[in-house]
Structure 1
Amino acid sequence: MINPISINDFISLPNAIPLVDVRTPAEFEQGKIPGAFNIPLFTNEERVIVGTTYKQVGREQAILLGFDLTGSKWSGFIKQALEIAPLMKIGVHCWRGGMRSGAMAWALNLYGFEVYLIEGGYKNYRKWTIEQFEKPYQLTVLGGMTGSGKTQILHQLQSINEQVIDLEGLAQHQGSAYGSMNILIQPTQEQFENDLALQLKQLDPCQRTWVEDESLTIGQRCIPHPFWDQMCDSLLLNINVPQGKRVEMLVEEYCVLDAGFLISCTERLKKRLGLEQTKLAVQAIEENRMADFIRIVLVYYDKTYATALSKRNKEGVVLVNIDRIDLVADVNKILNAIHSEQPTINDKNGN
C-alpha cells in the first residue's frame, strides 16, 4: 500500500518509521531530513544526464532513459530497504515528490512494503523547516563571558529535564576564532537549519527552553533570523564567573590543542587584538604559557561581549554570580534567579 502523507504528519507519527531519500548523494550531502537514509535512484552523473534529456528531448525519453539506467539496480534497492526497514514499513521522498520517489514507492509496494510517500518531497520539508523558526518559543538565554562554561551548564540543565537547544552543538562550532577546536566540521547551512527545526518541533512550546547567548553567526553558520530575533528579545541570564576561574577552565580546554592551530587562529584576530598583543599571544603559545595566552585574547572577547550586552534592554538582563566550583549548586542558583525579583544574585561568599 502507498500512503501519501505530509511531512508534518509523517514526523508526528506515534511510531517512528525509517525514511529513505532517493535523491543523489550530492543532494543528500547538501541537506537531508535528519535520520533519513540515502538510497539514490541515480548517481550524481546519471541525474545530470536524465535532466538534460528531459529538457532537450522530452519527458517520455527521460523516463525511458531512467529505466535503462536503473534497470539492474532494483533488486539492490529493495535489499537496502529491507535492511533499513525490516518491518517493511518505510517512508520515501525525493526532491519534490515526483518521479524518483514515485518509482521507488511503486517498486517497494510491489514487493510488499507499506510505503509512506512524502507529499512535496524534500522541498516541502524545507518549507516546513522555515515555518518552525517563525513559531513563538519560551526562550531563556544563558549569557556570560568567554570561558564561563555555558555549554556545561546547558548540559546540566538538560540532565534535570529542562528543555535545551544546544546551538553550538548543532553548528559543530564553539563560536569563537578557535571554535572548530581543530576537529569539528560544520554541517552545511541547510543541514544546520534542518537539525535545528527538528529539535524545535520536539519542544513543548509552552515550557521554558534554554539557549546559549550567541552572535548571529556560529563559525560559518547563521542562526535563522526569526529565531535569532526571539533570542534577542528574551530574558538573558548573565552569569558572572571570576576571571581566574575562566582562565583556568580555558587553559584546561585549549592546552590539548595543536600549537600551530592556535597560532593560526590568533593571527586571524590581528586586526582586533592589535599587532603587539597578537605577537605576545603567539609568543605565549610557542612558549607553552597557556594562561598568558588566554588572558591576552580574553581582553578582546570580554570587550566584545560587553558591547553586545550593552545593546540589550537592561530590564531583560539578570546578573548571576557563580564560582564554577559546584556545577549543580550553580545551576540551582541560575534557576532560582529566574524567579527572583532582584537584578543581582550574589554568590555564596557575598561577592
Structure 2
Amino acid sequence: MIDGAQLIREPIERFLQPCGPVVDVRAPAEYAQGHIPGAHNLPLFSDEQRAAVGTTYKQEGRQAAVQLGLELVGPRLGELGGRLKALAKQSPGQPLRLHCWRGGMRSESVAWLARQLDLEVNLLVGGYKAFRRWVLNSFETPWPIHLLGGRTGCGKTDLLLALAGQGGAVIDLEGLAHHRGSSFGSLGMPPQPSSEHYENRIAMALHQLQGAGQIWLEAESAQVGRCRIPAGLWKQMQQAPLLEIRRPLAERVQQLVAVYGVQDQHALKEATERIARRLGPQRTATALEAIAQQQWGKAALQMLDYYDRCYDHELERHGQHGGHRLLGHHDLEGLSAETAAKQLINSGAIRAQGRSAA
C-alpha cells in the first residue's frame, strides 16, 4: 500500500474540465505532433530513450524493457520531482492531471512519483489516445456553425476577433493554424502546428463554446496553409448559413498594406513568385516591380485583382453561394472592426452569447 496523495482516474469528459495543470509525460516528438492544448510536456523519456525502450520490449520482452526504463529514469527522479512540484504550485489546491499515450506505464510511473511528494494526481483513462478519439468524434457532433464571408482584404479576421470581444462565439481558424490562408499567409506568423494538433485546437475551441446559439467562423478553403480543416467540420461549414461583408476597394488595399507592407520584402517576392502561374506574367511582373520599389498599394492591387477573380469564379461554379443560406450583405465602409461588430450585434445579424434565439 503506497502512502501519499490520492490518485483519481478520470474519463476524458471530466479530465478536460479546467482544474489544474495538464502534464503530458510522452516524449518530445510525440508532444510536438499533437497534444492537449495548454498541456505541459514533462517527458519521462527522451525521443531516443523511448525508441530504445520500445526496441527492447519487442526484442527481449516486457521485463527487460522495464529494467532499461528504470535505469534511464533513475538518475532523473530528483529533476522530475522538482518539476512536478513547480507545476503543482501554479494551481494550489488543484490536482496534477497526468497522461501518456494510452494511460499506461509512463503516466502510472510519474503518478507514483507525484504521490510520494504528496501531490494530488488525476490520470486520464485511455491517455492521449482517448483524447484523440474525443477530438475526432467532436467534429461529427452538429454545431450551430455560421460563416463570415467576403472578398480578400475585407478584414474578416479582425471583425471576428472584435465580435469575440463583444460577446460573440467565434473560432479563428486562421489564428489557430498560424496562417492567413493565402500564398502570403505565413508571413509574420509563428510556425504552423501539425494538422493533428490543429484538430486538437479546434476541438477544444468548440468545447469551450458549448451551448452557444451561433458559432462564427471565417469562410475558408479546406486547407489553411498546411493545416487541413477536419472533414466533419468542413462538411458542416459547406452547409452553414453565410453572412457576406463588403468594403470598398480602397479600404481593402489599405487593409492589405497594413498587414503585409511591414513584412520582409524578399519573403513578399517569394510568395508572389509562388503564384506566378495563376497571376499571369503581366500581373506578376507588375507586382514584383511594385514590391521592389516598396509601392505596397500597387502590389496589393495586383493581388486583389487575382483573388477577386478567384472569388467570383467560386461563386459562379457553386451557384451564387453554393450550399449556403445567405443571411445578407453588410457594407462596412468606413467602419472600424469594433464599430462594425457592435452594429452587427445590435442589428441582430449576429447574436452575442447569452441572448435568446430569434
Aligned-pair identity in percent equals 39
Cα displacement (A) at 1:184: 2.8
Corresponding position of 2:24: 21
Q: Does 1:143 align with 2:149?
A: yes
Please report the RMSD computed on the Cα atoms of aligned residues, expressed in angstroms. Answer: 1.6
Change (3 A) 1:289 1:217: same
Name the SS of the counterpart of 1:134 in structure 2: coil
- 2: distance between equivalents of 1:298 and 1:194? 33
**Counterpart residue number, 1:323:** 333
Higher mean displacement: 161-170 or 271-280:
271-280
Letter in 1 for 2:221: S
Distance (Å, rounded) in 1 between the aligned partners of 2:324 and 2:139: 25
Q: 1:328 and 1:267 mapped to 2: Cα distance?
A: 35
Superimposed CA distance per residue, residues 240-282 of structure 1 (whole angstroms, 9 cap, x where no aligned partner): 1111111122122222112111110001111111122111110
Does the aligned pair in 2 maintain the 1:177–1:266 contact within 8 Å? yes
SS of corresponding position for 2:139: helix
Q: Could you say if the C-alpha distance between residues 285 and 99 of structure 1 is closer, same or farther in structure 2, counting changes exceeding 3 Å? A: same
Give the aligned residue type for 1:21.
D
Contact 1:237–1:334, Cα closer than 8 Å, also in 2: no
Partner residue in 1 for 2:195 = 189
Does structure 1 conserve the Cα–Cα contact (< 8 Å) formed by 2:35 and 2:197? yes
What residue is the counterpart of 2:56 in the other structure?
53
Corresponding residue number in structure 2 for 1:260: 266
Structure 2 alignment gaps of length 5 or more: 1-5, 351-358
Query: Which residue in the other structure is 2:13 paired with?
Result: 8
What CA deviation, in whole Å up to 9, does each residue of 1:178-215 have, x standing for no partner?
00124431111111111111111111344111111111
Alignment-mate amino acid for residue 50 of structure 1 = V
**What is the 5 A alignment of 1:1-351?**
1-12=6-17, 16-86=19-89, 87=92, 89-310=95-316, 311=318, 312-313=322-323, 315-335=325-345, 336=347, 338=349
**What's the TM-score, normalizing by structure 1?**
0.92
Distance (Å, rounded) in 1 between the aligned partners of 2:160 and 2:188 = 23
> Aligned equivalents of 1:111 and 1:131: distance in 2?
37
CA shift in 2, pair 1:296/1:11, >3 Å:
same
Distance 1:247 1:22, change over 3 A: same
Task: Find the residue that maps to 1:210 and give its secondary structure.
Answer: strand
Amino acid at match of 2:138: Q
Q: Which residue of 1 aligns with 2:355?
A: none
1:89-144: CA deviations, max 9, x gaps?
A: 21111111111111111221232122111111111111111111111111211111
Task: Measure the CA separation in 2 of the matches of 1:40 and 1:314.
Answer: 46
Shift of 1:295: 0.8
Q: Distance in 2 between matches of 1:250 and 1:214?
A: 18
Q: TM-score, normalization: structure 2?
A: 0.90
State the 1:333 CA deviation.
4.1
User: 1: distance between equivalents of 2:255 and 2:242?
Assistant: 23
**Structure-2 change in CA distance of 1:92 and 1:169 (3 Å):** same
1:302-321: CA deviation from partner (whole Å, max 9, x where unpaired):
11122333421464352222
Kindly indicate whether the alpha-carbon contact (under 8 Å) linking 1:137 and 1:205 is maintained by their aligned counterparts in 2: no
Distance 1:10 1:302 in 2: 46
Contact 1:323 1:330 in 2 (8 A): no
5+ long unaligned stretches in structure 1: 340-351
Alignment size in residue pairs: 337
Q: Secondary structure at the match of 2:190?
A: coil
Offset at residue 73 of structure 1 (A): 1.3
Q: Which amino acid aligns with 2:7?
A: I
Q: Give the 3-state SS of the residue equivalent to 2:192 in structure 1.
A: coil
User: What CA distance in whole angstroms lies between the structure 2 residues aligned with 1:313 and 1:233?
Assistant: 5
Distance 2:178 2:212 in 1: 28
